[in-house]
A and B are shown apart, each in its own frame.
Chain A
Amino acid sequence: MSTPLAAPPRLIYQKPALLTSQPTHYCPGCGHGIIHRLLAEVLEDLGVAGRTILVGSVGCSVFAYDYLALDAVESPHGRAAAVATGVKRVRPDHVVFTYQGDGDLAAIGTAEIVHAAARGERITVIFVNNGIYGMTGGQMAPTTLVGQATTSSPRGRDAVTTGYPLPVTEMLSLLPGVAYAARGSVADPGAVGRTKALIRRAFDVQIEGTGFAIVEILSTCPVGWGMTPVEAMERLANEVVRTYPPGVFVDRGRGVTPAMPAPAVAARPAAAERATPAERPVTEG
């Protein structure tokens, strides 16, 4: 007696088409692979991949354009937010996003990210923060935690000589031009799912055209941290999030307002509107 044929397999998940077949060069346990996949899924869900331009940066993710099937431009180190400004200003109907690490955005790129945010550029910034300079061999980053050993802080980061980790997303959330600022992590499947929603919202905000959107994603660097992939994820979940708490800091469209309101406009009027000399009061004597 033959058994009845099993029902044909039902496809419930597949690699997003936007992810190329190129094997990535990322280390085992690196968060970039997860984040690339989330981006591919979000852009496909939104149906905007055909009009999306990736503005790359310098760091481990410099080859992101080999893994995501998007038009892309390389930026000099730190300049992605300025490059993206140029792209978006001349192609305002396109979806433009940067993909930057913590050295690129929070060290050499600090001026460019602050001013792009201050101008309210309608771009989306994906800020991957793993607290270390992975590509160049594991040096200290502005987001490295106090006490953390790196190749350029071999005795552990000392706050007295090197200061404290920079909370860039919190700082940017003060600016009126920022329409969305949030932080997530890839520490566990739940966190990954919540981060995907943050990324989705950050692109929605760009499409709505209400201002600058940034998602900081806490990630791992097992090789730089000197840990196994599992240990690195545990460090992310238990230690890193205490300095960099996940959450939504600004979402203007949904009433999550920043600490600093936009200033009231009381600018000096343009020349044509200023009183002519004949109208100014004439004083005697």
Chain B
Amino acid sequence: MSVMTSSATRPGSIASPPGTGGEATLPEAIPTRILMKGNEAIAEAAIAAGCDAYFGYPITPQAELLEWMARRMPDEGRVFVQAESEIAAINMALGAAAAGARVLVSSSSPGISLMAEAMSYMAGSRLPVVLVNVMRGGPGLGSIGAAQGDYFQATKGHGHGDYRVPVLAPSSIAEAIDLVGEAFLIAERYRTPVMLLADGIIGQAMEPVVPTFRSIPRTPADWTLDGADGRAPRVVRSLHLKPEDLELANDVLQATYREIEAAEVRWAGEELADAEIVLVAYGTAARVARTAVERAREAGLRAGLFRPITLWPFPSAALAERTRDARAVLSVELSAGQMVEDVRLAIEGRVPVFHHGRTGGMVPSPDEVVAAMRHAWATTSGGTR
């Protein structure tokens, strides 16, 4: 599909991202838009943001991100290494971040599992690293289709120990570009790994984007390793053998997480004001849900969409508030039901919560989601709409 052609033949309108069904009028100046593949757009956004080093390993469906970095990073005088494994890649990132570099790593579900150990070490050592997970079907070797089965892994902690990692979930390629910059800012502001959680469709799709790739300012750091010349040595560590010392270190982490929860929650909503049934969905599932909301409204069912953008910190307070007057809540996921648990926790039993999901790389159709909405409606009100 060539959006640029359709723009040229229909002056005065821009085609909105697929699945929305809506159109927006063109502003005075027509911004140039280019078709970009999600994986490549994320890579270019990182380069523009000032990423110093990329470490990765090929895995479908994100190999194009690594390949784009292989071509572009040496052009820019930055570091690129294709490591021997995801374990090596994430540990290279750990070292580079300790030495003060802005670092990106990307992988997909099975590779993220390999990185779990290093995530725990990076969280404990307070290292800023941005990790992109282009989710695929699981468990195990699974499939290469889009899935959201890594929500638990991303939000409940991939590795051992008491830590959280901010998780940003784009729903379009344009949003992914924007969130790459946000990810670096959050990582450096709070000294924490940050995960950008995409899926195989966002990674592989091509969409028109306005190529405004932001340069992201550096956060000053007084803890990085560059040789103890003329100052006391610095040690980047997560080992604190004395329980009293480790508790203090954990207290610092927890205080940081409270700050992040207070300041970094992000979400978007559509047609929530009078919604009787609220869909909760993120990423690619949110695009299907958006179309389902429109079709339901056309059929007279007042539906709305609550779209978390940060999966941790989860927008619990906003979700509870926006669903207060709803009859039912339906969580739509490309999984057997993971985010729905956080939805239930947020809603605390005030409103019935349902789940509709597909696994294996399957994506529900909007009509399938509408049918799930009707089922939820029928179950809660006793009637049919």
- Mark A residues whose CB is within 8 Å of B: 49-53, 55, 62, 65, 69-76, 79, 82-87, 89-91, 94, 111-112, 114-115, 119
Contact = CB atoms under 8 A, between A and B. Distances in A.
A91 B226 contact: yes
Given A55-B95, A90-B100, A73 B84 contact: no
24 contacts: A65-B233, A69-B228, A72-B237, A73-B95, A73-B99, A74-B125, A75-B94, A75-B95, A75-B121, A76-B94, A82-B89, A82-B92, A84-B95, A85-B81, A85-B88, A86-B98, A87-B99, A89-B53, A89-B92, A90-B96, A90-B99, A90-B100, A91-B225, A94-B226
A50 B225 contact: no
A52 B236 contact: no
Contacts of B121: 74-76
Given A50-B228, A91-B225, A112-B84, 19 more contacts: A53-B226, A69-B233, A70-B233, A72-B225, A72-B233, A73-B236, A73-B237, A74-B235, A74-B236, A83-B92, A85-B92, A86-B92, A86-B94, A86-B96, A89-B96, A91-B226, A94-B226, A112-B91, A115-B88
A83 B234 contact: no
Nearest to B127: A73
Interface string B68-89: 0000000000010101110111
- Greatest chain A CB density within 10 A among B89, B92, B96, B103 is at B92
Contacts of B85: 111
B91 A53 contact: no
Contacts of A114: 84
B117 interface: yes
Contacts of A72: 225, 233-237
A89 B81 contact: yes
Contacts of B100: 90-91
A51 B228 CA distance: 7
B15 to A, nearest CB: 33
A71 B117 CA distance: 23
B347 interface: no
B40 interface: no
Nearest to A71: B225
Nearest to B234: A71
B88 A82 contact: yes
B91 A90 contact: no
A118 to B, nearest CB: 8
A74 B117 CA distance: 13
B84 A49 contact: no
Nearest to B230: A50
Given A70-B228, A71-B228, A91 B91 contact: no
Contacts of A55: 95
Contacts of B235: 65, 71-74
A87 B96 contact: yes
Most buried by B among A49, A70, A82: A82
B69 to A, nearest CB: 13
Interface residues of B, number: 40
6 A-B pairs closest in CB distance: A50-B229, A86-B95, A86-B92, A83-B95, A86-B96, A82-B91
B95 A85 contact: yes
A111 B228 contact: no
A87 B93 CA distance: 8
B66 interface: no
A49 B228 contact: yes
Contacts of B225: 53, 71-73, 87, 91
A31 B271 CA distance: 70
A82 B229 CA distance: 25
Contact of A86 (B99, B117, B230): B99
B233 A90 contact: no
Contacts of B237: 65, 72-74
Nearest to A94: B227
A73 B98 contact: yes
A274 to B, nearest CB: 17
A49 B231 CA distance: 12
A85 B89 CA distance: 10
A75 B55 CA distance: 17
Contact of A87 (B84, B95, B230): B95
Contacts of A91: 99-100, 225-226
A261 B117 CA distance: 37
Nearest to A114: B84
Nearest to B101: A90
A257 B127 CA distance: 40
Contacts of A65: 233, 235, 237
Interface in B215-266: 225-230, 233-239
A55 B98 CA distance: 10
Contacts of B81: 85, 89, 119
Interface string B264-282: 0000000000000000000
B52 interface: yes
A23 B225 CA distance: 24
B227 A53 contact: yes
B328 interface: no
A160 B92 CA distance: 37
Contacts of B98: 73, 83, 86-87
B88 A112 contact: yes
Nearest to A84: B95
Contacts of B55: 86
A71 B91 contact: no
B67 to A, nearest CB: 13
Contacts of B89: 82
B311 interface: no
A230 to B, nearest CB: 30
Given A69-B228, A87-B95, A79 B236 contact: no
B339 interface: no
B329 interface: no
